[in-house]
Chains A and B, each alone.
Chain A
Amino acid sequence: MPPRPLGDDSAERVPITNAIAAIDAILRQPRRVMFQLRQPDAHRLVTSMVLASLVCAAIYGAIAGTSTGGSQLGVASVKVTLGLLISGVICLPSLYIFTCLSGSQARLLEICGLLSGLFLLMTVLLIGFAPVAWIFSQSTDSLVGMGALHLIFWFIATAFGLRFLQAGFSQSRARSQAGIKTWVVIFVLVALQMTAALRPILGKSDTFLPGSKKFFAVYWSQCFQEARDNSRATR
């Protein structure tokens, strides 16, 4: 069954004028965001969604930094924001190419809008998780435990964000979903690799960026091993 055309409901045609309205719309009326991304002045909406998602990422990063405290509040905030921005810049070209190959009629600006919508929904949901993350960060010294908790929150938030992206994609008259599905796998891997490329986001370090290169799975297993050794040593 083809999806209901965008704009058939008059509420979807109401312009989104600012970032707060964009947050409200992406939570309650995602079709309104999709419709507005096809309008001539969509660049304003895209800009406000990108800025709002960067602010939300910075806030969540600061909350994540409370696990370590001190300068890590600012460092984690910058790293999470930077990670989001770099993931977006790295993945945008492949998203556009895959959507074109799938027969989608979406313009580049609309694709940028869908990606910024994904980021906005993801980071807004992370803000919703922030009080839970904060109370855990104040209670536990286990950075591995906190890392796992943040990852769970990130997976949930990303799942909702990707659902928005796929709903938007299905409105673009694409012949196949294979392209977007492939891109989703790439995006998740890139985002996970950011946890190793920008490490440590939770712990302390002398330098802002790591000196050596590691695959995220290797980095995580090393963190887990260290935590287990420390736990045995304290026992």
Chain B
Amino acid sequence: MAKMTTLAAFPKAFDSFLRAEPEHFHEWVTRRQSELVAFCVVIIVAGAGGYGAVMGSWREPMQAFYTGIKLPMVILLTTLGNGLLNGMLAPLLGLNVSFRHSLSAVLISFAITSVVLGALSPIALFIVWNTPPLTAGTMLTSPEYGFLQLTLAFFVALGGIIGNVRLLPLLRHWAPKPAIARNVLLAWLAGNLVLGSQICWVLRPFIWDSKRPVEFIGPEGFHGSFFETVIQAVWRLAF
């Protein structure tokens, strides 16, 4: 019902949303913020949730259900967790927007990413369906698992890039100089990357954990950090 109300309040919203006309975004952010936020949340839950379900479906339906919940959670928790910081960085870098406006802008970007992920879900499902199924002999080093990981991560990266590229016109619309819009986007990207990576780390596994049964969050969730693991891996390789 809520979804219907939201979508009805935005005639042709989907078209404008994907075409990312800065004037429309600006108008929604300034005049119809609560509707915009609800609209974006619905899109994130549906788009990223659908893609998440596809990611987890390689293992079993329960993993699909969990990953379908976890992927939108990553996006929404990253948006909320960095909301304050993003709202502070924008004026400090020369873009005088309110906290609510910056939060809405980041949410718009993530919603576009989710739309892309939702649209790529059938292709991802096709790839998952064509990938050799998980068996007792499957290992973390198995080529099929590596292929699936890389392909699904590539789609997420593609969605993320498109979402951020679409956000740039809105920031340029608000900013007095194009360089300011670029700097704000880069600062937001960096912050979201740091927090998003760690939230993903906490909420893992998204596809499969070879040592554990299907769980929402494994016992290793709050153990270690994404960057620590990357640094240790680099260290092991180098020395």
Are A and B a genuine interacting pair, yes or no?
yes
Interface residue B61 (Cβ < 8 Å from any Cβ of A): no
**Contact partners of A128 in chain B: CB under 8 A:** 84-85, 87-89
Asked if A142 is an interface residue, CB under 8 A from chain B, the answer is yes
Taking each of B92, B201, B221, B227, which has the highest tally of chain A beta carbons within 10 Å of its own beta carbon? B92
A230 to B: closest C-beta gap in Å: 13
Residues from chain B with a CB closer than 8 A to the CB of A140 are 223-225, 228
Q: Hey, which chain A residues are within 8 Å of B202, CB to CB?
A: 135, 138-139
Q: List chain B residues, Cβ under 8 A from A141.
A: 223-224
Distance (whole angstroms) from the CB of A214 to the closest CB of chain B:
25
Query: In chain A, residues 97-136, which have Cβ atoms closer than 8 Å to a Cβ of chain B?
Result: 121, 124-125, 127-129, 131-132, 135-136
Smallest CB gap from B191: residue in A: A132
Q: Is the CB of B88 within 8 A of A27?
A: yes
Asked if residues A136 and B198 are in contact (CB atoms below 8 Å), the reply is: yes
Q: Given A132-B82, A139-B223: A27 and B91 within 8 A (CB)? A: yes
| Cβ of A138 to closest chain B Cβ, rounded Å | 5
Q: Any chain A CB within 8 A of the CB of B7? A: no
A4 at the interface (CB under 8 A from B): no
Q: How far is the CA of A27 from the CA of B198 in the complex (A)?
A: 27
A28 sits at the interface (CB 8 A): yes
Q: A219 on the interface (CB 8 Å rule)?
A: no
A28-B96, A140-B228, A145-B228 known; A135+B195 contact, CB < 8 A: yes
**Smallest CB separation, B157 vs chain A (Å):** 21
Contacts of B194 in A (CB 8 A): 132
Closest residue on chain A to residue B232 by CB atoms: A231
CA distance A145 to B232 in the complex (A): 11
What's the Cα separation between A26 and B194 when bound, in Å? Answer: 26
Shortest CB-to-CB span from A73 to chain B, Å, is 17
Alpha-carbon distance between A228 and B210 when the two chains are bound, in angstroms: 28
B199 within 8 A of A: yes
Q: In the assembled complex, which residues on chain B have CB atoms less than 8 Å from the CB atom of A135?
A: 81, 195, 198-199, 202
Contact partner of A127 (CB less than 8 A), chosen from B84, B222, B223, B232, is: B84
DSSP class of A's interface residues: helix, strand, loop or mixed? helix
* A125→B87 CA distance, assembly (Å): 10
Contacting pair A131 B222 (CB below 8 A): no
Question: Are A145 and B225 touching (Cβ within 8 A)?
Answer: yes
What separation, in Å, do the CA atoms of A28 and B102 have in the docked complex?
13
How far is A110 from B222 in the complex, measured between Cα atoms in Å? 47
Bound CA–CA A154/B221 (angstroms) = 27
A138-B222, A139-B225 known; A132-B88 Cβ under 8 A: no
Most chain B beta carbons < 10 A, residue from A27, A28, A139, A160:
A139
For residue B221, which residues in chain A have a CB less than 8 angstroms away from its CB?
139
CB-CB contacts of B168-202 with A at 8 A, as 1s and 0s?
00000000000000000000000100110011011
- Contact A160–B198 (Cβ < 8 Å): no
Interface string of A9-37 (1 = CB under 8 A from B): 00000000000000000011000000000
Query: Sorted from nearest, which 3 A-B pairs have the closest CB atoms?
Result: A128-B85, A131-B81, A140-B225
Q: Name A's B-contacting residues (CB within 8 A).
A: 27-28, 121, 124-125, 127-129, 131-132, 135-136, 138-142, 145, 160, 231
B-to-A contact residues, CB < 8 Å: 81-82, 84-85, 87-89, 91-92, 96, 191, 194-195, 198-199, 201-202, 221-225, 227-228, 232
What are 14 pairs between A and B in contact, CB < 8 Å? A27-B91, A28-B96, A125-B88, A128-B85, A128-B88, A131-B81, A131-B85, A132-B81, A132-B82, A135-B81, A139-B201, A139-B202, A160-B92, A231-B232
